[in-house]
Amino acid sequence: MSDIDWKSVEEEAVALLQDLLRIDTTNPPGDEIKAVRHVAGVLARAGIACEVFEPFPGRGSLVTRVGPGGGNDLEEALLMHGHLDVVPAEPKQWRFPPFSGELADGCVWGRGAVDMKGIVAMQLMVALLVHRGAITLKRPLKLAWTADEEEGGGCGMAWIAANRPDVLHARYAIGEVGGFSMALPGGRRAYPIGVAEKGLAWVKVTVSGEPGHGSMPQLHARQNAVARLAAGVDRLQRRGLEYRLTPVVRQFLDEMAAVQPRPSGWVLGLLKHRRLARAVLRHVIPDPGRARALHAALHDTATPTVLNAGVGGNPETGRGKPNLIPSTASVVLDGRTLPGTTTDSFLRQLRRVFGDDAEYEVIHSAQPTSAPTTTRLYDLMVATLQAEDEAAVPLPNLVVGFTDAKHIAQLGVDCYGFAPMKLPDDLNFARMFHGHDERLPVSSLMFGIRALLRLVQRALGE
């Protein structure tokens, strides 16, 4: 690594990221095949073979590998993965056009810079450096860049896992949501490593009532489906779902508290107590975003996202007739479940909120995932962060969203969230995900490339 021309690497990596950001892969519809063809061309010019999958028109994914080995050597392979689709952007709300790949103020701007074409660019640059002989590997490095993660992965990683699991076969996998820095007092920086991921349960809840004319309202709220549903949603918001302290969150709180000054460390300790956590989250933690993240890590959650009621009316607007009381009303809940929560136990919690007589339809579900903190790779991720940043405090973390790791973990692979980035203290990284003016500092891009290359060398070359 000492012989690498890092200035040239920076120029090449920035160009790789800019090119990816200029390809519009907004999902829906995705059309990730455009990005796949571009990346395949970069690999081909470097002399690296790859395999392209397009199970549905336009929904492209790519897998490749660098380094030696084959057959049983794949048992010790490391898989790095990322997704090529992005969420929609509102151009009028952006400083620069979201698909411009603008380089300004030391950052590369564009939809996907953080989530997650920036990480794909890091991984691609590492693959190129390995192939050029910057480091020597004894075991293979595999890479997968896929479609459709933002909509659940059915056209991408989930399809590959179901139809071509052989290309994902590895000992470990690393992907997004982990390894980025968060400022701590005293100039130290926390680097959460994703070792577990909440499950997913999208549920449609439908309640019934008595239909009638809007001029004659029912005398009891339970007779009106809309009123019943509104009461249930209100109960859900006020009460929430079950609190549970999982081992990974306990470890996170303990290790984070240990590097915090008083009283911040004490406050984190209070979150380990069921009866105190609610009050602490609502009234003590000053940062609303941090309080929301901690709440999500300590609870099963169900967020109302879609409401539907009313019949007839204008088909163009979808509005029901104002004077017709509907017989049913429904809400779609975005449910996220802690490790140890099953879909059945999650539904039991919802029944306590909306009642046994409501109808519950599971639209989509996925189980939580977890990986041990006792593996060699976890130790190497910790050591890598400490080597790249002497102020680093690596911590195990529960990812409260979902990633493509869900599909890979089903194949028996230990999956971690590790996309290392040393970020400016004043950059609100969480807001970059799906937010306006998404951007990645060039310094963070280079930190990630150096850290990933070091990890690969230690994990596969020694």
Residue 165 has pLDDT above 60, yes or no: yes
Local confidence band at 262 (pLDDT 50, 70, 90 cut-offs): confident
Cis, peptide link before residue 368, omega less than 30° from 0: no
Residue 73 has pLDDT above 90, yes or no: no
Cis, peptide link before residue 165, omega less than 30° from 0: no
Of 110, 108, 60, which is closest to residue 86 (Cα–Cα)?
110
Q: Which CATH architecture has domain 6-194+369-460?
A: 3-Layer(aba) Sandwich (3.40)
The mean pLDDT value for 101-110 works out to: 98
Write down the domain spans for the chain: 6-194+369-460, 197-366
Residue 74 has pLDDT above 60, yes or no: no
The mean pLDDT value for 366-395 works out to: 96
Tell the residue number behind the tokens 């194949």, with chain if given. 411
Could you tell me how many residues make up the chain? 462
Of 454, 365, 455, 437, which is closest to residue 158 (Cα–Cα)?
365
Of the chain, the percentage scoring pLDDT greater than 70 comes to 96
Of 119, 120, 125, which is closest to residue 4 (Cα–Cα)?
125
Residue 219 has pLDDT above 80, yes or no: no
Six token digits for residue 152: 């659940």
Residue 75 has pLDDT above 70, yes or no: no
- How does pLDDT run across 119-157, given as a tens digit for each residue? 999 999 999 999 999 999 999 999 999 999 999 899 999
What is the predicted pLDDT for the residue at 216? 82
What is the predicted pLDDT for the residue at 351? 98
Question: Can you tell me whether residue 341 is helix, strand or coil?
Answer: coil
Residue 51 has pLDDT above 90, yes or no: yes
Helix (H) or strand (E) holding 205: strand 199-208
| Residue 191, beta-bridge partner list | 394
Dihedral sign, Cα of residue 226, residue 229, residue 234, residue 237: negative
Six token digits for residue 183: 């400022």
Residue 317 has pLDDT above 70, yes or no: no
Residue 286 has pLDDT above 60, yes or no: yes
Residue 282 has pLDDT above 70, yes or no: yes
The mean pLDDT value for 105-112 works out to: 98
Residue 265 has pLDDT above 60, yes or no: yes
Residue 320 has pLDDT above 90, yes or no: no
Residues 6+ positions from 100 with CB-CB distance below 8 Å: 21, 22, 109, 110
What is the predicted pLDDT for the residue at 287? 84
Residues 6+ positions from 84 with CB-CB distance below 8 Å: 20, 25, 32, 35, 36, 39, 60, 61, 117, 120, 145, 146, 147
The mean pLDDT value for 33-52 works out to: 98
Local confidence band at 462 (pLDDT 50, 70, 90 cut-offs): confident
For 363-397, letters b (16+ CB in 10 Å) and e give eebbbbbbbebeeebbebbbebbeebbeebbbbbb
Helix (H) or strand (E) holding 206: strand 199-208
Of 1, 2, 3, 9, which is closest to residue 446 (Cα–Cα)?
9
What is the predicted pLDDT for the residue at 98? 98
CA 451 to centroid of chain Cα atoms: 20
CATH of domain 197-366: 3.30.70.360
More confident residue, 442 or 313: 442
What is the predicted pLDDT for the residue at 69? 65
Q: What is the pTM assigned to this prediction?
A: 0.91
Backbone angles phi, psi at 321, to 5 degrees: -70, 130
Residue 315 has pLDDT above 80, yes or no: no
* Cβ atoms of residues 65 and 128 within 8 Å: no
| Cα–Cα distance measured from residue 129 to residue 123, given in angstroms and rounded to the nearest whole number | 10
Local confidence band at 215 (pLDDT 50, 70, 90 cut-offs): confident
Averaged confidence pLDDT in the chain: 94
Q: Which amino acid belongs to residue 358?
A: A
Residue 316 has pLDDT above 70, yes or no: no
The mean pLDDT value for 84-110 works out to: 97
**DSSP secondary structure letter of residue 112:** T
Residue 71 has pLDDT above 80, yes or no: no
The mean pLDDT value for 82-92 works out to: 97
Task: List, as own/partner pairs, every contact residues 99-103 make where C-beta atoms lie below 8 angstroms and the sequence separation is at least 24, other chains included.
Answer: 99/21, 99/22, 99/23, 99/24, 100/21, 100/22, 101/17, 101/18, 101/19, 101/20, 101/21, 101/22, 103/14, 103/18, 103/442
- Give the angle 138-141-143 at the CA atoms, nearest 5°: 175
